[in-house]
Each structure stands twice: as structure tokens, then as C-alpha cells.
């Protein structure tokens, strides 16, 4: 099953209270998963990576055969695609976790940058996650 996912991380303050949002759709556009959650106090970039890691794990759980992730985090997308180096020590750990998850996954993985306006639904879920104070499920 091919999945297209929108991911977003939100932080109120940088660092500040943070949340993630993920929407996963089938090739036909059917929503397979939409959710988010609270991840504590962290930076916006850590929240973006946390959303991606959550999405990758969910895709494996769902039996994904091909995953395309769309994110408005230009930094994260460029780091994952090898255009930017990862300098921050904590982001480097998260980057390595993404690479390990992708390496173990049994499906092709693509990540692309999109404008913030094209990521509104995931942003609403990420901010809702902050408000909920509930962990991602």
C-alpha cells in the first residue's frame, strides 16, 4: 500500500511546549491515519524530526509498501536528503534514528519540502497535540 503523509512539528517558544501532527493517506486519498500528540518541552526542529519518526513507525505498522512524506521543514528535508549537514548533536541523534528506520523499512521512502500553507492539516494536529497534553498514539 502506497502512503502519502504530511508531517509537522510545532513548538510554542523555541524551546517550548511541543507537539506533532501526522496525516497518512492512501493512493486514493483515503485518510488512513490522522493524529498528533504532546511531546513535552523541546525545539521546533526536534518536534519536526519527532513527527517524521512517528510517521515512519506508523508506516511500518500499517504494512506500507511505498512512503512519500511531505513536510514544511526545509531544514529537516534537506538534512534527510543530504543537502545540509546535521550539526546539532541532538538533531544528529534523531537524524540517525530516521536513517536506521528507513534502512530497516521494506519500502521505498521519499521526503519532499512543501510550503507551510500546504501543510495546514498536520499543523492543526500538531498544535492540537500541544493543547491535549496527551502523548501521540
Q: What is the pLDDT at residue 86? A: 98
Predicted confidence at residue 33, as pLDDT, reads 98
Number of Cβ within 10 Å of residue 29's Cβ equals: 7
pLDDT in tens, 34-61: 999 999 999 999 999 999 999 999 999 9
Q: How many CA atoms lie within 13 A of 92 on its CB side?
A: 5
**Using omega within 30 degrees of 0 as the cis cutoff, is the peptide bond preceding 15 cis?**
yes
> What pLDDT, on a 0 to 100 scale, did the predictor assign at position 10?
98
Span 93-115, pLDDT tens digits? 999 999 999 999 989 999 999 99
Q: What average pLDDT does the segment 121-137 reach?
A: 97
Q: What is the DSSP string of 83-121?
A: SS---SHHHHHHHHHHHHHHHH-SS-EEEEE--GGGGHH
Domains in the chain with CATH codes? 2-132 (3.30.420.10)
CA gap 107, 63 in Å, rounded: 9
Q: Which residues contact 112 (CB under 8 A, 6 or more apart)?
A: 68, 69, 70, 71, 77
Q: What is the pLDDT of residue 118?
A: 98
Q: Look up residue 63 and give its DSSP letter.
A: T
Mean pLDDT of the residues in the chain: 97
Arithmetic mean of pLDDT, 8-37: 97
Amino acid at each position: 500500500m502506497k502512503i502519502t503523509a504530511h508531517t509537522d512539528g510545532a513548538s510554542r517558544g523555541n524551546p517550548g511546549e511541543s507537539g506533532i501532527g501526522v496525516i497518512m493517506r492512501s493512493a486514493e486519498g483515503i485518510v488512513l491515519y490522522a493524529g498528533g500528540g504532546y511531546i513535552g518541552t523541546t525545539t521546533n526542529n526536534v518536534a519536526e524530526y519527532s513527527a517524521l519518526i512517528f510517521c515512519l513507525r506508523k508506516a511500518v505498522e500499517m504494512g506500507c509498501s511505498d512512503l512519500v512524506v511531505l513536510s514544511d521543514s526545509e531544514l529537516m528535508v534537506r538534512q534527510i536528503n543530504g543537502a545540509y549537514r546535521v550539526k546539532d548533536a541532538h538533531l544528529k541523534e534523531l537524524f540517525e534514528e530516521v536513517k536506521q528506520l528507513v534502512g530497516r523499512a521494506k519500502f521505498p521512502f521519499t521526503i519532499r519540502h512543501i510550503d507551510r500553507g500546504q501543510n495546514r492539516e498536520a499543523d492543526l494536529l500538531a498544535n492540537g497535540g500541544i493543547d491535549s497534553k496527551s502523548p501521540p498514539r
